[in-house]
Structure 1
Amino acid sequence: MSNDDLDLLLEDLKSPTERVRQEATQQLWQRWFHQKGIMGLELLQKAQILLESGEAAEAEAILTRAIATFPDFAEAWNRRAVLYYLLKNYRKAIADCQQVLRLNPVHFGALHGLGLCYAALGDYSAAIDAFRKALEIQPHAIENQRLLLECTAKLS
């Protein structure tokens, strides 16, 4: 997929038509998960299965290995950030989200995760900033709109 295709998908995220937004979102996630081909995808899938079966340490080891093998694999960093968030290790999750965004500045999932982590730590200003950035990419994301309002209310 070319950069022109990426630009079109990012524009589709702003479409007034929900179906167009959903299709663009799906294609972006597919692009991100498949960035490193079958090997990268299989590592992500294996880590997810382990995480869902309660084997977080094993899932973390696989994701860390994927990152060591493919340091520019943004989705491996993102999946590990999700794992850290679920384990309530918010500082590690934030560090991984920031790495995702260095590699892929339009990764709305990492921006959402960053906002969740900052909110969990009570840093509502930083959470608001992350949710706003996510909404710049995906303006119709109801969950980020809601979280932005919740964090704003906590500051007042």
Structure 2
Amino acid sequence: MSQPPIDSLLKDLKSEDEDIRTQATQELWQIWFMQKGDYGLDLIRQSQTLLEQGETRRAEDLLTELINDQPDFSEAWNRRAVLYYTLGKYQKSLKDCQHVIELNPIHFGAIHGMGLCYAALGDYMSAIKAFRRVLELQPYALINQKLILECTAMLN
């Protein structure tokens, strides 16, 4: 089974057809999660299970081990960024999001995460820039439009 070219999926994110956008979004996430095959996916799933069980330290340790073993696995960095964000460790989350984007400049999830971190840290201008950047990739992502408005209101 061949994967659709990334450029085609990025184009589909901008389609007026919601079903096409949804399919493209799902396929991109699948590509990112499957970057390291079943090995990487299994460890990410284990970390998610640990997180859901409240075992945040073990989840963090597992993701850190995965990152050390596979430093180019952008989704491992992204999952750890999500973990840090949920723990209120916004600076650590932001750093991991930035690393994801270095590895994968089109990772809209990490760019969105950067915006959330900036907003949580009170840097609303940087948050707005991040959410606008996501909209360049996903112009119909209403959550980012809403967050831009919320951050703009915080500037006044």
TM-score (norm 2): 0.97
Q: Which runs of 5+ in 2 are unaligned?
A: none
Q: CA deviation at 1:154?
A: 1.0
Q: Which residue of 1 aligns with 2:122?
A: 122
Q: Which residue of 1 aligns with 2:99?
A: 99
- What are the superposed Cα offsets for residues 89-147 of structure 1, whole Å, 9 maximum, x if unpaired? 00000000000000000000001100000000110001001100011001100111100
Counterparts of 1:64-143 in structure 2, within 5 Å, are 64-143=64-143
One-letter identity of the residue aligned with 2:93: A
Q: Which residue of 2 aligns with 1:16?
A: 16
Q: CA deviation at 1:151?
A: 0.5
Q: Which runs of 5+ in 1 are unaligned?
A: none
Distance 1:66 1:14 in 2: 33
Q: Which residue of 2 aligns with 1:42?
A: 42
- What are the superposed Cα offsets for residues 27-85 of structure 1, whole Å, 9 maximum, x if unpaired? 00000000001100001000000001100000000100110110000000000000000
Q: CA deviation at 1:152?
A: 1.0
Report the secondary structure of 2:106's partner residue: coil
- Cα-Cα RMSD: 1.0
One-letter identity of the residue aligned with 1:123: D
Distance 1:48 1:103 in 2: 22
User: After TM superposition, what 4+ stretches of structure 1 lie above 3 angstroms from structure 2?
Assistant: none
Distance 1:133 1:98 in 2: 13
TM-score (norm 1): 0.97
Distance 2:53 2:93 in 1: 20
Report the secondary structure of 1:76's partner residue: helix
Aligned length: 155
Identity of aligned residues (%): 60
